[in-house]
């Protein structure tokens, strides 16, 4: 496989996270390109007999498709007592392990699954590390369709610059797995992620936002140095 270093690095991070999965566990399966390699690796470990009795709880339609493709049995929150470990990506990570997620518009289901896990492992490349959340990535807010206009006005009063996320290769806005819309918000600087997370979720019509505060346990960071991929944790 003559993959480029960035692709190899994403694969290494995903495989390193998958190596932490043990037999007889329930695994939260996240969304995104790096997490896809983790799902692939879990499936390969199951097929090889290295893992037994592992079931996945998907966070998106993408995760469902990948889990089926790689032979991971799926379950639901109605059928289980707990989630042992969740593996998911992030769009930004600050030094306190707070996250912005939602680039794939799956952050509502991701927050439910990731928050329930005994251990939540975040897989990212070093470009996702920031000093302050909101510095490189817009903050996604999932909104019930009828409330989009009043929610956007309320977000402006909170100091944000909101814009409705539009589809690519699709006429019209992005629609989430829950049938809602996504408003991406530019904040010049998010000094208190916990307060902003609560303020946004208290707006009538908001289902959830992409701030994950105090949820992540381990951050696995992929880097490319001198053309060679490597993985570190914090």
Please list the active-site residues. 110
| DSSP one-letter string for 48-72 | HTSS-SEEEEESSHHHHHHHHHTT-
Distance between CA 109 and CA 113 in Å, rounded?
6
Please give the backbone phi and psi of residue 178, each rounded to the nearest 5 degrees, phi first.
-90, 0
**Alpha helix segments (H runs only) across 74-207:** 107-116, 148-157, 193-201
> Which one, of 230, 203, 233, lies nearest residue 218 by Cα?
233
Q: Which residues contact 185 (CB under 8 A, 6 or more apart)?
A: 138, 139, 140, 141, 155, 160, 161, 162, 163
């Amino acid at each position: 496989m003559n993959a480029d270093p960035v692709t190899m690095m994403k694969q290494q991070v995903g495989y390193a996270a998958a190596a932490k999965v043990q037999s007889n566990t329930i695994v939260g399966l996240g969304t995104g390109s790096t997490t896809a390699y983790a799902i692939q690796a879990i499936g390969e470990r199951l097929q090889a007999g290295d893992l037994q009795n592992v079931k996945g709880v998907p966070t998106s339609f993408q995760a469902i498709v990948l889990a089926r493709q790689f032979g991971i049995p799926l379950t639901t929150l109605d059928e289980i007592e707990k989630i042992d470990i969740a593996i998911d990506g992030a769009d930004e990570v600050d030094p306190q392990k707070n996250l912005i997620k939602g680039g794939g518009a799956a952050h509502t289901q991701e927050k439910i699954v990731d928050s329930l896990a005994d251990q939540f492992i975040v897989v990212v490349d070093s470009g996702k590390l920031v000093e302050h959340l909101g510095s490189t990535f817009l903050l996604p807010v999932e909104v019930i369709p009828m409330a989009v206009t009043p929610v956007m006005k309320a977000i402006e009063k909170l100091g944000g610059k909101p814009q409705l996320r539009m589809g690519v290769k699709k006429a019209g806005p992005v629609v989430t797995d829950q049938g809602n819309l996504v408003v991406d918000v530019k904040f010049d600087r998010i000094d208190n992620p916990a307060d902003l997370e609560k303020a946004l979720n208290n707006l009538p019509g908001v289902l959830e936002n992409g701030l994950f505060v105090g949820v992540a346990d381990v951050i696995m960071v992929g880097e490319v140095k001198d053309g060679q991929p490597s993985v570190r944790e914090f």
